[in-house]
Structure 1
Amino acid sequence: MMRLFYFPTLNGHKVTIALEEMGLPYDVEIVDILNGGQDAPAFRAVNPNGKIPALADGDVRVFESAAILQYLGRKSGRFYPAEEAVRTRIDSWLFWQMAGLGPMSGQVNWFTRAAQKPGRDPAETSLAIHRFRKETTRLFDVLERALAGQDYLCGDYSIADMCVWPWIEKYPDNGGGLAAHPHIAAWHARIARRAAVQRALAVGLDALRLAGEGKA
Protein backbone atom coordinates (compact mmCIF):
# COMPACT_ATOMS: atom_id res chain seq x y z
CA MET A 1 0.00 0.00 0.00
CA MET A 2 1.17 3.53 -0.67
CA ARG A 3 2.53 5.49 2.26
CA LEU A 4 1.97 9.24 2.33
CA PHE A 5 4.40 11.27 4.41
CA TYR A 6 2.18 14.10 5.41
CA PHE A 7 1.25 17.06 7.55
CA PRO A 8 -2.01 18.97 6.98
CA THR A 9 -0.62 21.90 5.00
CA LEU A 10 -1.85 23.22 1.68
CA ASN A 11 0.65 21.16 -0.29
CA GLY A 12 -0.30 18.12 1.73
CA HIS A 13 -3.99 18.72 1.03
CA LYS A 14 -3.36 18.55 -2.71
CA VAL A 15 -2.24 14.95 -2.38
CA THR A 16 -4.94 13.78 0.01
CA ILE A 17 -7.53 15.31 -2.33
CA ALA A 18 -6.07 13.35 -5.23
CA LEU A 19 -5.89 10.10 -3.26
CA GLU A 20 -9.47 10.45 -2.05
CA GLU A 21 -10.80 11.45 -5.46
CA MET A 22 -9.00 8.56 -7.16
CA GLY A 23 -10.07 6.03 -4.55
CA LEU A 24 -6.51 4.80 -4.04
CA PRO A 25 -5.69 3.02 -0.76
CA TYR A 26 -2.98 4.68 1.29
CA ASP A 27 -1.51 4.89 4.76
CA VAL A 28 -0.54 8.18 6.34
CA GLU A 29 2.67 8.78 8.26
CA ILE A 30 2.53 12.14 9.99
CA VAL A 31 5.73 14.16 9.69
CA ASP A 32 5.56 16.70 12.51
CA ILE A 33 7.08 19.67 10.75
CA LEU A 34 6.36 21.93 13.71
CA ASN A 35 8.72 19.94 15.88
CA GLY A 36 11.51 18.90 13.51
CA GLY A 37 10.04 15.71 12.09
CA GLN A 38 11.18 16.71 8.61
CA ASP A 39 14.80 16.25 9.68
CA ALA A 40 14.44 12.59 10.64
CA PRO A 41 16.81 10.39 8.59
CA ALA A 42 13.99 8.00 7.67
CA PHE A 43 12.03 10.84 6.11
CA ARG A 44 15.07 12.34 4.39
CA ALA A 45 15.59 8.95 2.74
CA VAL A 46 12.25 9.48 0.99
CA ASN A 47 12.57 13.21 0.42
CA PRO A 48 16.12 14.61 0.56
CA ASN A 49 14.64 18.10 0.39
CA GLY A 50 13.00 17.60 3.79
CA LYS A 51 9.57 18.96 2.84
CA ILE A 52 6.15 17.37 2.93
CA PRO A 53 4.40 15.76 1.19
CA ALA A 54 6.30 12.74 -0.08
CA LEU A 55 5.07 9.37 -1.25
CA ALA A 56 6.44 5.83 -1.16
CA ASP A 57 4.82 3.21 -3.38
CA GLY A 58 6.84 0.00 -3.49
CA ASP A 59 10.17 0.96 -5.03
CA VAL A 60 8.85 4.37 -6.12
CA ARG A 61 9.75 7.47 -4.11
CA VAL A 62 8.19 10.78 -5.12
CA PHE A 63 8.50 14.23 -3.61
CA GLU A 64 7.13 17.65 -4.63
CA SER A 65 3.35 17.79 -4.57
CA ALA A 66 2.83 18.34 -8.31
CA ALA A 67 5.08 15.40 -9.16
CA ILE A 68 3.05 13.25 -6.77
CA LEU A 69 -0.18 14.37 -8.46
CA GLN A 70 1.21 13.42 -11.85
CA TYR A 71 2.30 10.03 -10.56
CA LEU A 72 -1.08 9.33 -8.99
CA GLY A 73 -2.86 10.45 -12.14
CA ARG A 74 -0.81 8.05 -14.24
CA LYS A 75 -1.21 5.24 -11.72
CA SER A 76 -4.99 5.56 -11.39
CA GLY A 77 -5.76 6.62 -14.94
CA ARG A 78 -8.01 9.35 -13.52
CA PHE A 79 -8.01 13.15 -13.60
CA TYR A 80 -4.89 13.25 -15.83
CA PRO A 81 -5.91 12.28 -19.37
CA ALA A 82 -3.30 10.68 -21.60
CA GLU A 83 -4.25 12.90 -24.54
CA GLU A 84 -1.22 15.13 -25.01
CA ALA A 85 -3.11 18.34 -25.70
CA VAL A 86 -5.04 18.02 -22.44
CA ARG A 87 -2.13 16.74 -20.37
CA THR A 88 0.13 19.63 -21.36
CA ARG A 89 -2.58 22.11 -20.32
CA ILE A 90 -2.82 20.38 -16.96
CA ASP A 91 0.96 20.39 -16.58
CA SER A 92 1.07 24.10 -17.34
CA TRP A 93 -1.32 24.85 -14.48
CA LEU A 94 0.58 22.56 -12.12
CA PHE A 95 3.79 24.48 -12.79
CA TRP A 96 1.92 27.79 -12.61
CA GLN A 97 0.83 26.98 -9.10
CA MET A 98 4.17 25.60 -7.98
CA ALA A 99 6.24 28.45 -9.41
CA GLY A 100 3.78 31.30 -9.01
CA LEU A 101 0.68 31.19 -6.84
CA GLY A 102 2.16 29.11 -4.02
CA PRO A 103 5.44 30.99 -3.55
CA MET A 104 3.92 34.45 -4.01
CA SER A 105 1.00 33.89 -1.66
CA GLY A 106 3.34 32.19 0.79
CA GLN A 107 5.60 35.24 0.84
CA VAL A 108 2.60 37.44 1.64
CA ASN A 109 1.91 35.20 4.63
CA TRP A 110 5.53 35.20 5.83
CA PHE A 111 6.08 38.95 5.63
CA THR A 112 2.67 39.70 7.13
CA ARG A 113 3.50 37.53 10.15
CA ALA A 114 6.94 39.13 10.40
CA ALA A 115 5.36 42.59 10.41
CA GLN A 116 3.22 41.62 13.41
CA LYS A 117 6.15 40.67 15.63
CA PRO A 118 6.66 43.03 18.58
CA GLY A 119 9.22 45.69 17.92
CA ARG A 120 9.26 45.16 14.17
CA ASP A 121 9.64 48.33 12.11
CA PRO A 122 6.82 48.27 9.51
CA ALA A 123 9.17 49.80 6.97
CA GLU A 124 11.15 46.55 6.99
CA THR A 125 8.23 44.52 5.65
CA SER A 126 5.80 46.91 3.96
CA LEU A 127 7.57 46.97 0.59
CA ALA A 128 7.82 43.17 0.51
CA ILE A 129 4.14 42.78 1.44
CA HIS A 130 3.19 45.24 -1.30
CA ARG A 131 5.36 43.46 -3.87
CA PHE A 132 4.11 39.94 -3.17
CA ARG A 133 0.48 40.92 -2.68
CA LYS A 134 0.53 42.75 -6.02
CA GLU A 135 1.91 39.68 -7.79
CA THR A 136 -0.56 37.36 -6.03
CA THR A 137 -3.41 39.62 -7.15
CA ARG A 138 -2.10 39.44 -10.71
CA LEU A 139 -2.10 35.64 -10.48
CA PHE A 140 -5.66 35.67 -9.17
CA ASP A 141 -6.63 37.73 -12.21
CA VAL A 142 -4.98 35.13 -14.46
CA LEU A 143 -6.99 32.39 -12.77
CA GLU A 144 -10.19 34.43 -12.95
CA ARG A 145 -9.85 34.85 -16.70
CA ALA A 146 -9.01 31.17 -17.17
CA LEU A 147 -12.19 30.09 -15.38
CA ALA A 148 -14.51 32.39 -17.30
CA GLY A 149 -17.00 30.24 -19.15
CA GLN A 150 -15.84 26.88 -17.80
CA ASP A 151 -16.31 24.91 -14.61
CA TYR A 152 -12.71 23.70 -14.25
CA LEU A 153 -9.28 24.78 -15.40
CA CYS A 154 -8.79 22.25 -18.19
CA GLY A 155 -12.35 21.40 -19.15
CA ASP A 156 -13.06 18.44 -16.86
CA TYR A 157 -12.05 18.33 -13.21
CA SER A 158 -8.39 17.34 -13.02
CA ILE A 159 -5.26 17.32 -10.91
CA ALA A 160 -4.75 20.94 -12.04
CA ASP A 161 -7.78 21.96 -9.98
CA MET A 162 -6.59 19.83 -7.05
CA CYS A 163 -3.20 21.56 -7.17
CA VAL A 164 -4.51 25.13 -7.22
CA TRP A 165 -7.63 24.88 -5.05
CA PRO A 166 -6.05 24.58 -1.56
CA TRP A 167 -4.20 27.88 -1.99
CA ILE A 168 -7.44 29.63 -2.86
CA GLU A 169 -9.31 27.87 -0.07
CA LYS A 170 -6.88 28.92 2.65
CA TYR A 171 -5.71 32.36 1.55
CA PRO A 172 -8.26 34.02 -0.75
CA ASP A 173 -7.57 37.47 0.64
CA ASN A 174 -3.93 37.38 -0.47
CA GLY A 175 -5.11 37.89 -4.04
CA GLY A 176 -7.96 40.31 -3.49
CA GLY A 177 -10.67 37.99 -2.19
CA LEU A 178 -13.36 35.86 -3.77
CA ALA A 179 -15.90 38.69 -3.95
CA ALA A 180 -13.70 40.42 -6.52
CA HIS A 181 -13.30 37.20 -8.52
CA PRO A 182 -16.72 35.64 -9.20
CA HIS A 183 -15.43 32.90 -11.52
CA ILE A 184 -12.90 31.78 -8.92
CA ALA A 185 -15.59 31.94 -6.24
CA ALA A 186 -17.92 29.67 -8.22
CA TRP A 187 -15.10 27.22 -8.99
CA HIS A 188 -13.98 27.22 -5.37
CA ALA A 189 -17.48 26.46 -4.11
CA ARG A 190 -17.98 23.74 -6.72
CA ILE A 191 -14.88 21.89 -5.54
CA ALA A 192 -15.52 22.50 -1.84
CA ARG A 193 -18.81 20.60 -2.13
CA ARG A 194 -17.10 17.42 -3.31
CA ALA A 195 -17.22 14.65 -0.69
CA ALA A 196 -13.68 13.50 -1.48
CA VAL A 197 -12.35 17.01 -0.90
CA GLN A 198 -14.10 17.22 2.44
CA ARG A 199 -12.63 13.87 3.49
CA ALA A 200 -9.18 14.94 2.33
CA LEU A 201 -9.19 18.14 4.37
CA ALA A 202 -9.93 16.15 7.53
CA VAL A 203 -6.82 13.96 7.19
CA GLY A 204 -4.28 14.70 9.91
CA LEU A 205 -6.19 17.44 11.72
CA ASP A 206 -5.67 15.74 15.08
CA ALA A 207 -1.94 15.69 14.40
CA LEU A 208 -1.99 19.41 13.67
CA ARG A 209 -3.78 20.14 16.92
CA LEU A 210 -1.44 17.97 18.97
CA ALA A 211 1.67 19.41 17.31
CA GLY A 212 0.47 22.91 18.05
CA GLU A 213 0.06 21.93 21.69
CA GLY A 214 3.50 20.29 21.74
CA LYS A 215 1.98 16.86 22.42
CA ALA A 216 2.73 15.09 19.15
Structure 2
Amino acid sequence: MIDLYYWPTPNGHKVTLFLEEAGLDYAIKPVDIGKGEQFQPAFLAVSPNNKMPAIVDHAPADGGVPISVFESGAILLYLAEKTGRFLPADARGRVAALEWLFWQVAGLGPMSGQMGHFNVYAPEKIPYAIDRYGNEVRRLHGVIDQRLSRHAYLAGDEYGIADMASYPWIEAYDALKPDYPAFPHLKRWHDAIAARPATQRAYALKDQVNPDAGKPLDEEARRHLFGPR
Protein backbone atom coordinates (compact mmCIF):
# COMPACT_ATOMS: atom_id res chain seq x y z
CA MET A 1 0.00 0.00 0.00
CA ILE A 2 1.16 3.51 -0.82
CA ASP A 3 0.04 6.56 1.11
CA LEU A 4 -0.32 9.52 -1.24
CA TYR A 5 -0.25 12.98 0.33
CA TYR A 6 -2.26 14.82 -2.26
CA TRP A 7 -4.18 17.89 -3.27
CA PRO A 8 -5.60 18.30 -6.80
CA THR A 9 -2.94 20.53 -8.29
CA PRO A 10 -0.92 19.85 -11.45
CA ASN A 11 1.86 18.28 -9.42
CA GLY A 12 -0.64 16.20 -7.50
CA HIS A 13 -2.18 14.95 -10.75
CA LYS A 14 1.20 13.67 -11.93
CA VAL A 15 1.27 10.99 -9.26
CA THR A 16 -2.36 9.92 -9.53
CA LEU A 17 -1.82 9.52 -13.28
CA PHE A 18 0.93 7.00 -12.60
CA LEU A 19 -0.88 5.18 -9.80
CA GLU A 20 -4.03 4.78 -11.86
CA GLU A 21 -2.12 3.62 -14.94
CA ALA A 22 -0.12 1.09 -12.92
CA GLY A 23 -3.07 -0.14 -10.87
CA LEU A 24 -1.18 0.20 -7.60
CA ASP A 25 -3.03 0.16 -4.30
CA TYR A 26 -2.91 3.58 -2.70
CA ALA A 27 -4.68 5.61 -0.06
CA ILE A 28 -5.13 9.35 -0.45
CA LYS A 29 -4.12 11.49 2.50
CA PRO A 30 -5.53 14.93 1.62
CA VAL A 31 -3.26 17.90 2.32
CA ASP A 32 -5.43 21.03 2.15
CA ILE A 33 -2.88 23.61 1.08
CA GLY A 34 -5.50 26.37 1.35
CA LYS A 35 -5.76 25.68 5.09
CA GLY A 36 -2.02 25.41 5.68
CA GLU A 37 -1.92 21.66 6.28
CA GLN A 38 1.35 21.49 4.32
CA PHE A 39 3.04 23.18 7.28
CA GLN A 40 1.96 20.59 9.86
CA PRO A 41 4.85 18.68 11.51
CA ALA A 42 3.48 15.29 10.47
CA PHE A 43 3.54 16.30 6.81
CA LEU A 44 6.92 18.01 7.08
CA ALA A 45 8.35 14.72 8.31
CA VAL A 46 7.50 13.29 4.88
CA SER A 47 7.93 16.40 2.74
CA PRO A 48 10.41 18.82 4.38
CA ASN A 49 9.90 21.42 1.63
CA ASN A 50 6.23 21.76 2.70
CA LYS A 51 5.05 20.95 -0.82
CA MET A 52 2.80 18.19 -2.02
CA PRO A 53 2.62 15.55 -3.39
CA ALA A 54 4.59 13.08 -1.32
CA ILE A 55 4.29 9.35 -0.84
CA VAL A 56 5.09 6.71 1.74
CA ASP A 57 5.58 3.25 0.28
CA HIS A 58 4.80 0.64 2.93
CA ALA A 59 5.99 -2.21 0.72
CA PRO A 60 9.28 -1.08 -0.82
CA ALA A 61 11.11 -3.38 -3.20
CA ASP A 62 13.85 -4.14 -0.67
CA GLY A 63 11.34 -5.38 1.90
CA GLY A 64 12.61 -2.95 4.51
CA VAL A 65 10.97 -0.16 6.45
CA PRO A 66 8.61 2.19 4.58
CA ILE A 67 10.21 4.66 2.18
CA SER A 68 8.99 8.24 1.90
CA VAL A 69 9.55 10.27 -1.26
CA PHE A 70 8.87 13.94 -1.89
CA GLU A 71 9.08 16.00 -5.11
CA SER A 72 6.79 14.89 -7.92
CA GLY A 73 9.57 14.07 -10.40
CA ALA A 74 11.37 11.92 -7.84
CA ILE A 75 8.11 10.15 -7.03
CA LEU A 76 7.48 9.32 -10.69
CA LEU A 77 11.00 7.98 -11.10
CA TYR A 78 10.73 5.96 -7.87
CA LEU A 79 7.43 4.40 -8.91
CA ALA A 80 8.68 3.65 -12.43
CA GLU A 81 11.72 1.86 -11.04
CA LYS A 82 9.63 0.04 -8.43
CA THR A 83 7.18 -1.31 -10.99
CA GLY A 84 9.40 -1.57 -14.05
CA ARG A 85 6.81 0.40 -16.01
CA PHE A 86 6.58 3.69 -17.93
CA LEU A 87 10.38 4.12 -18.11
CA PRO A 88 12.34 2.57 -20.99
CA ALA A 89 14.74 -0.17 -19.99
CA ASP A 90 17.28 0.54 -22.73
CA ALA A 91 19.94 3.18 -22.09
CA ARG A 92 18.95 5.54 -24.90
CA GLY A 93 15.26 5.42 -24.11
CA ARG A 94 15.94 5.96 -20.42
CA VAL A 95 18.09 9.01 -21.17
CA ALA A 96 15.32 10.51 -23.32
CA ALA A 97 12.72 9.90 -20.60
CA LEU A 98 14.89 11.51 -17.92
CA GLU A 99 15.75 14.47 -20.14
CA TRP A 100 12.10 15.29 -20.67
CA LEU A 101 11.16 14.56 -17.06
CA PHE A 102 13.79 17.03 -15.86
CA TRP A 103 12.78 19.48 -18.59
CA GLN A 104 9.33 19.53 -17.07
CA VAL A 105 10.34 19.87 -13.43
CA ALA A 106 12.92 22.56 -14.19
CA GLY A 107 11.08 24.48 -16.89
CA LEU A 108 7.51 23.76 -17.91
CA GLY A 109 6.18 23.45 -14.36
CA PRO A 110 7.84 26.47 -12.73
CA MET A 111 7.31 28.77 -15.71
CA SER A 112 3.65 27.74 -16.09
CA GLY A 113 3.16 28.24 -12.38
CA GLN A 114 4.55 31.76 -12.53
CA MET A 115 2.45 32.51 -15.60
CA GLY A 116 -0.63 31.41 -13.68
CA HIS A 117 0.33 33.33 -10.57
CA PHE A 118 0.78 36.68 -12.29
CA ASN A 119 -2.30 36.25 -14.49
CA VAL A 120 -4.70 34.71 -11.98
CA TYR A 121 -3.60 35.19 -8.37
CA ALA A 122 -1.39 38.27 -8.11
CA PRO A 123 -3.11 41.18 -6.32
CA GLU A 124 -1.96 43.56 -9.04
CA LYS A 125 -1.35 43.09 -12.75
CA ILE A 126 2.33 43.50 -13.58
CA PRO A 127 2.68 43.63 -17.37
CA TYR A 128 6.37 42.77 -17.38
CA ALA A 129 5.81 39.59 -15.35
CA ILE A 130 2.75 38.61 -17.38
CA ASP A 131 4.66 39.03 -20.64
CA ARG A 132 7.83 37.41 -19.32
CA TYR A 133 6.23 34.18 -18.17
CA GLY A 134 3.62 34.05 -20.91
CA ASN A 135 6.33 34.29 -23.57
CA GLU A 136 8.48 31.66 -21.88
CA VAL A 137 5.60 29.20 -21.60
CA ARG A 138 4.78 29.74 -25.26
CA ARG A 139 8.43 29.01 -26.09
CA LEU A 140 8.25 25.79 -24.06
CA HIS A 141 5.05 24.81 -25.84
CA GLY A 142 6.97 25.24 -29.08
CA VAL A 143 9.76 23.00 -27.77
CA ILE A 144 7.36 20.20 -26.86
CA ASP A 145 5.46 20.61 -30.13
CA GLN A 146 8.66 20.13 -32.10
CA ARG A 147 9.49 17.01 -30.11
CA LEU A 148 6.02 15.62 -30.65
CA SER A 149 6.20 16.29 -34.38
CA ARG A 150 8.72 13.43 -34.50
CA HIS A 151 7.49 11.14 -31.73
CA ALA A 152 4.15 9.98 -30.38
CA TYR A 153 5.25 10.71 -26.80
CA LEU A 154 8.05 12.63 -25.17
CA ALA A 155 10.44 9.71 -24.70
CA GLY A 156 9.56 8.07 -28.02
CA ASP A 157 6.77 5.75 -29.05
CA GLU A 158 5.53 4.75 -25.59
CA TYR A 159 3.61 6.72 -22.97
CA GLY A 160 5.70 7.24 -19.85
CA ILE A 161 6.62 9.31 -16.84
CA ALA A 162 7.79 12.31 -18.87
CA ASP A 163 4.30 12.57 -20.36
CA MET A 164 2.66 12.15 -16.96
CA ALA A 165 4.81 14.96 -15.59
CA SER A 166 4.07 17.37 -18.43
CA TYR A 167 0.42 16.73 -19.19
CA PRO A 168 -1.08 18.38 -16.06
CA TRP A 169 0.74 21.65 -16.75
CA ILE A 170 -0.54 22.13 -20.30
CA GLU A 171 -4.06 23.20 -19.32
CA ALA A 172 -3.41 24.04 -15.68
CA TYR A 173 -5.43 27.28 -15.95
CA ASP A 174 -8.74 27.39 -17.81
CA ALA A 175 -8.15 30.92 -19.09
CA LEU A 176 -4.56 30.27 -20.20
CA LYS A 177 -4.73 27.35 -22.58
CA PRO A 178 -2.05 26.87 -25.23
CA ASP A 179 -2.31 28.30 -28.71
CA TYR A 180 -3.26 24.93 -30.14
CA PRO A 181 -3.57 26.10 -33.77
CA ALA A 182 0.10 27.05 -33.57
CA PHE A 183 1.04 23.78 -31.82
CA PRO A 184 -0.98 20.97 -33.45
CA HIS A 185 1.30 18.17 -32.26
CA LEU A 186 0.90 19.34 -28.68
CA LYS A 187 -2.88 19.23 -29.19
CA ARG A 188 -2.78 15.69 -30.62
CA TRP A 189 -0.68 14.47 -27.69
CA HIS A 190 -2.82 16.23 -25.08
CA ASP A 191 -6.04 14.82 -26.51
CA ALA A 192 -4.60 11.29 -26.59
CA ILE A 193 -3.64 11.42 -22.92
CA ALA A 194 -6.94 13.01 -21.90
CA ALA A 195 -8.79 10.09 -23.52
CA ARG A 196 -6.97 7.44 -21.47
CA PRO A 197 -9.26 5.82 -18.87
CA ALA A 198 -6.57 6.14 -16.19
CA THR A 199 -6.34 9.88 -16.85
CA GLN A 200 -10.07 10.23 -16.42
CA ARG A 201 -9.99 8.27 -13.16
CA ALA A 202 -7.10 10.36 -11.87
CA TYR A 203 -8.83 13.66 -12.62
CA ALA A 204 -12.11 12.45 -11.14
CA LEU A 205 -10.37 12.53 -7.76
CA LYS A 206 -10.32 16.33 -7.97
CA ASP A 207 -14.00 16.69 -7.23
CA GLN A 208 -13.90 14.01 -4.55
CA VAL A 209 -11.02 15.58 -2.64
CA ASN A 210 -11.68 19.28 -3.25
CA PRO A 211 -15.17 20.12 -4.53
CA ASP A 212 -14.20 23.82 -4.38
CA ALA A 213 -11.39 23.45 -6.91
CA GLY A 214 -11.38 26.33 -9.37
CA LYS A 215 -13.24 28.76 -7.14
CA PRO A 216 -11.62 32.10 -6.18
CA LEU A 217 -9.25 31.92 -3.23
CA ASP A 218 -10.36 33.38 0.08
CA GLU A 219 -7.99 35.40 2.26
CA GLU A 220 -7.01 32.41 4.40
CA ALA A 221 -6.01 30.40 1.35
CA ARG A 222 -4.05 33.34 -0.07
CA ARG A 223 -2.19 33.72 3.21
CA HIS A 224 -1.21 30.07 3.33
CA LEU A 225 -0.31 29.80 -0.34
CA PHE A 226 1.43 33.10 -0.97
CA GLY A 227 2.25 34.61 2.42
CA PRO A 228 5.73 34.51 3.92
CA ARG A 229 6.45 31.47 6.10
| TM-score, normalised by the number of residues in structure 1 | 0.90
Larger proportion of helix: 1
Does 2:96 correspond to 1:95? no
Once the 2 structures are TM-superposed, how far is the Cα of residue 114 of structure 1 from its aligned partner?
Answer: 4.8
Q: Percent identity?
A: 48
Give the aligned partner of residue 129 of structure 2: 128
Output the amino acid matched with 2:37: G
- Secondary structure of 2:48's partner? coil
- Assess, with a 3 A threshold, how the Cα gap between structure 1 residues 184 and 172 changes in structure 2: closer, same or farther: farther
**Equivalent residues of 2:170, 2:178 under 8 A apart:** no
Give the aligned partner of residue 45 of structure 2: 45
| TM-score, normalised by the number of residues in structure 2 | 0.85
Once the 2 structures are TM-superposed, how far is the Cα of residue 81 of structure 1 from its aligned partner?
Answer: 2.0
- Assess, with a 3 A threshold, how the Cα gap between structure 1 residues 68 and 137 changes in structure 2: closer, same or farther: same
What are the Cα deviations for residues 108-147 of structure 1, in whole angstroms up to 9, with x where unaligned? 11111355x4xx4x4xx10011111111111111001000
Counterpart CA distance in 2 for 1:24 and 1:114 is 35
Residue 192 of structure 1: which of 176, 191, 194 is its match?
194
List aligned pairs for 1:146-185, cutoff 5 A.
146-155=147-156, 156-171=158-173, 174=176, 176-185=178-187
Which piece of structure 1 moves more, 7-16 or 148-157?
A: 148-157
What CA RMSD, in Å, does the superposition of the two structures yield over aligned residues? 2.0
Q: Give ranges in structure 1 of 5+ residues lacking alignment.
A: none
Once the 2 structures are TM-superposed, how far is the Cα of residue 82 of structure 1 from its aligned partner?
Answer: 2.3
- Secondary structure of 1:130's partner? helix
- Secondary structure of 2:181's partner? coil
Once the 2 structures are TM-superposed, how far is the Cα of residue 208 of structure 1 from its aligned partner?
Answer: 1.4
Number of aligned residue pairs: give it: 208
Once the 2 structures are TM-superposed, how far is the Cα of residue 96 of structure 1 from its aligned partner?
Answer: 0.6
Which piece of structure 1 moves more, 160-169 or 12-21?
A: 160-169
Which piece of structure 1 moves more, 192-201 or 165-174?
A: 165-174
**Equivalent residues of 2:171, 2:178 under 8 A apart:** no
Give the aligned partner of residue 85 of structure 2: 78
